Amino acid sequence: MENGEIEAAEEGLPMPAPPVGRRYRPVGSDDSAVVQMTSMEPAPGGSTSVTGHEAVTPQPPRNLKPGGANLTIDPSMQQGSGDHATSSGSQRDSKLELFGFDSLVNILGLKSMTGEETQAPSSPREGEDVAITIGRPKETGPKFGTMMGVFVPCLQNILGIIYYIRFTWIVGMAGVWQSLVLVSFCGACTFLTGLSLSAIATNGAMKGGGPYYLIGRALGPEVGISIGLCFFLGNAVAGSMYVLGAVETFLDAVPSAGLFQESVTVVNNTLINGTATAGTATISTPSLHDLQVYGVIVTILLCFIVFGGVKIINKVAPAFLIPVLFSLLCIYLGVFIAPRHNAPKGITGLSLTSLRDNWGSEYQRTNNAGVPDPNGSIYWGFNALVGLFFPAVTGIMAGSNRSASLKDTQRSIPIGTLSATLTTTAMYLLSVLLFGALSTREELLTDRLLTATVAWPAPVVIYIGIILSTLGAALQCLTGAPRLLAAIANDDILPVLHYFKVSEGVEPHAATLFTALICIGCVIIGNLDLITPTITMFFLLCYAGVNLSCFLLDLLDAPSWRPRWKYHHWSLSLVGALLCVVIMFLISWSFTVISLALASLIYYYVSLKGKAGDWGDGFKSAYFQLALRSLRSLGANQVHPKNWYPIPLILCRPWGKLPENVPCHPKLADFANCMKKKGRGMSIFVSTIDGDYHELAEDAKTACHQLEAYIEYKQCEGVAEIIVAPSMSEGFRSIVQTMGLGNLKPNIVVVRYPEIWRRENLTEIPSTFVSIINDCIIANKAVVIVKGLDEWPNEFQRQYGTIDLYWIVRDGGLMLLLSQLLLTKATFESCKIQVFCIAEEDTDAAELKTDVKKFLYDLRMHAEVIVVTMKSWESHVENSSSSAQPDDSQEAYTSARRRISAYLSEMKETTEREGRPQMVDGKQAVVNEQKVDKFLYTMLKLNSTILRHSRMAAVVLVSLPPPPLNHPAYFYMEYMDMLVENVPRMLIVRGYRRDVVTFFT
């Protein structure tokens, strides 16, 4: 209530009626609790609040304990309260009464915007205290900031086994300058992906699932699940990579722990700096069987830790970062103080000479263990090194995976992720220069643990650091991958994954076991250099999905796209996606094709077997934008016949007599599909409900949902619309005027022929039927009336014989086009088309046939042309005394004439009795009985011709005659019944003032 209303109430002026709905008892100062509202304008005399016309000093609410204690609410203020009594001082009502809300704002409704399910607050009993938390959110688990929540996890996942045991080898192979290019190339890819990730992650609240959640909500469930499952496989395989790295490091440090004999490689005439070095070199590597045995054991032990729960993992995981940082410090100290007294000869210390010697690349062959061997089976080039190194820059998703544990998601994810990416990239670039200047190329290629050799004070520190860091990374993979799989399963899109569904707060044991089996399978392979390219493909596929998601969302720029991270642009996301694709093909085109094929198979499987999940994805937004632009480009100009598509408007329940739970005749969708070429096009299924819109709005929504389910079940491309109107005629008139936009308005009205009108004695059908046809003529809509819809064949009922067209009037070629569309369906593809041209007796039949055949030839239509001549009405009158109808239509014709005569007699009697002019459907008119007889006879002759030539036809198409002026609707129904008599399946077609076929290309 406004202040002006309060003043009017004080002056005794009439008050406006209160709004209909719930009412509220005014809050009194003696209530058990008072939540006061200050006036918009300060009251004179200081800070006071106005309640009614009394000024009172604001007092703190009673029973309000610190820290969100109990707040007693009067029962009469509860939502839905039945207390409608108001005091005489109605001016004391809450000002929010005007808006229909409680004075206590229900903030629980905001949770629905985040997708959280909230229970309706229960109303307290009288005398009870209700606990309301004021200014303090619900207590949850510990929240992390940018450092511990994002930066540290990303750093721990990025710094892995590749840096320790393969990075110096990569520098030796690629040389310094190509190694710098390699690190910059891969770092740019992850940095641009981090920008896209930051933009999407700051566009709203995030749930579990990490990149799967982001991609799925941006590109749809099909793309999200296909990339999410590949990312899950990448994490599972990455766990095996870390396990193998830890085991290999342990066996290198403690060779005596091997259960099998080490592999000894003797390398002769190794190429170093392009020069063949004479002599031999003996290099020992751990046995493959040792890697397999120890790897399986370690994987099983890690799985037991994972089964212990996330609490144990969170307590143990941070401790793994300390050895990593300490080992990095030891490596850099060792590099700067090298060479020490016991260092190998190949370690020269930081030297410009070594840097110059190692500047160029020296790609060569190696054996399966990566040891240089001129007769090795693997040739390492720049492309292969990209695949080997790229896992060393992955891990940027670690922060987004922990979004539920962050204090400020929209601030921590961008800063933490990009800081970790830049920090590690800078460290890699510095390490390239340091390692290139540290030792000779031979030492870089043959010392598999050069980082441990140069580390200060002893190699054992690096061994321990490598083992603990790789085991920690493996633990993170075995922890994150099952939760990713469980998040995909919990969305309930893919039924086959329901075994991995878990409730909130429950550990995903089934998903963990499945992840462990995959990890063990990869460990049995035992070759680290073969595993890492596989991981690279899956991670690159995920990164490409993130970049593509951001590119699509940013390019569409929907109103809901408002990321807080502003330092991005759609062009950067596009470059990031292209970089991911380029890296994939650089590594291996065969692995790229396999990974894309796997993702495509998952996408296709989800499309077929997955449940509907409408997440408002970017593709739907793209379709919407494309539709809007296409609609604007089409404009309202007339569509050229070459571009004409049928857009049928289908009346689902025009004459009733269907069960209430059946939204549409079962065969209407089958017929609608017959009007489309290869199923393309759109149908609009409409139905009307007689009554008042305000009363039947909910019934209309329910009916619309049922109709949509019917359309989806019949696999018909179309939309459903329900109209509430006082009558069907008025409802259809509204539909035909307003349905559609621009040139996407429906152009054909499809309606079932009312065969039941006489049998069911439905006297209102004739006027409704004629009204629909006249409305279509005025609105310039084509009409297709289906007679024999109950017998219309489905897709499994193959038809033979002919499709017969009785072409009487020019209809723009619509009847010809419909016959051609019928032939494209498997049901009618074995039929042939016959065109019957109806002409009067004095017409040159041969010339007409030639012209029609030439016309059909130019239209690329194959059909047999038959000219049928009919006697005129005048000839019938002259010979009526001696002529008799020999066919089956005579009895129907006689009955129709008798009924029409009885109807006319009744009309005349009513007119004479009431002493008013003769009325036809509410309009004054004079019925010409001779024209009525002429029209009925014409229908008789046409029906006789159809029965004579097309009794065995699969379907008959005939032109629809317009309702004659001044003829009652009852008469027109008699004419139409005469036309369709004894014809089992017929399409009555009326075109409109446009050509739908053309001669031209």
CA distance 385 to 393: 13
What average pLDDT does the structure give for the chain?
76
Per-residue pLDDT, averaged over 117-133, amounts to 41
- Judged against a pLDDT cut of 80, whether residue 558 lies above it is answered with no
Q: Are 246 and 470 in contact (CB under 8 A)?
A: yes
Q: Which residue has the higher pLDDT, 21 or 376?
A: 376
What digits encode the pLDDT tens for the residues 781-803? 889 999 988 888 877 888 888 99
Which pLDDT band, with edges at 50, 70 and 90, does 761 fall under?
A: low
What are the φ and ψ backbone dihedral angles of 476, each rounded to 5 degrees? Answer: -65, -40
Q: Which residue has the higher pLDDT, 225 or 807?
A: 225
Buried b / exposed e along 901-930 (16+ C-beta atoms within 10 A) = eebbeebeeeeeeeeeebebeeeeeebeee
- Judged against a pLDDT cut of 90, whether residue 432 lies above it is answered with yes
Query: Residue 108: what pLDDT?
Result: 42
Residue 752 DSSP SS3: strand
**Cβ contacts of 5 within 8 Å, gap of 6 or more:** 15, 16, 91
Which pLDDT band, with edges at 50, 70 and 90, does 851 fall under?
A: confident
Which pLDDT band, with edges at 50, 70 and 90, does 715 fall under?
A: confident
- Judged against a pLDDT cut of 60, whether residue 882 lies above it is answered with no
- Judged against a pLDDT cut of 80, whether residue 593 lies above it is answered with yes
Per-residue pLDDT, averaged over 10-24, amounts to 40
What digits encode the pLDDT tens for the residues 230-244? 888 888 888 888 888
Which pLDDT band, with edges at 50, 70 and 90, does 607 fall under?
A: confident
Query: Residue 528: what pLDDT?
Result: 62
CA distance 357 to 351: 10
**Cβ contacts of 692 within 8 Å, gap of 6 or more:** 724, 726
What digits encode the pLDDT tens for the residues 444-475? 888 878 888 898 888 888 888 888 888 888 88
Query: Residue 70: what pLDDT?
Result: 40
Q: What percentage of residues in the chain have a pLDDT greater than 70?
A: 74
- Judged against a pLDDT cut of 60, whether residue 846 lies above it is answered with yes
Q: Which residues does residue 989 pair with via DSSP β-bridges, in sequence order?
A: 784, 959
**Cβ contacts of 70 within 8 Å, gap of 6 or more:** 63, 129, 130, 131, 132
Phi-psi region of 68 (alpha: psi -120 to 50; beta: other; left: phi over 0): left
Largest CA distance in the chain: 135
Distances (CA, A) of 159 to 433, 623, 1001: 18, 41, 63
- Judged against a pLDDT cut of 80, whether residue 662 lies above it is answered with no
Query: Residue 914: what pLDDT?
Result: 75
What digits encode the pLDDT tens for the residues 913-937? 777 776 666 666 667 778 888 888 8
Q: Which residues does residue 782 pair with via DSSP β-bridges, in sequence order?
A: 748
Whole-prediction pTM value? 0.63
- Judged against a pLDDT cut of 50, whether residue 86 lies above it is answered with no
What digits encode the pLDDT tens for the residues 861-876? 788 888 887 776 555 5
* Assigned token pair, 929: 């009985």
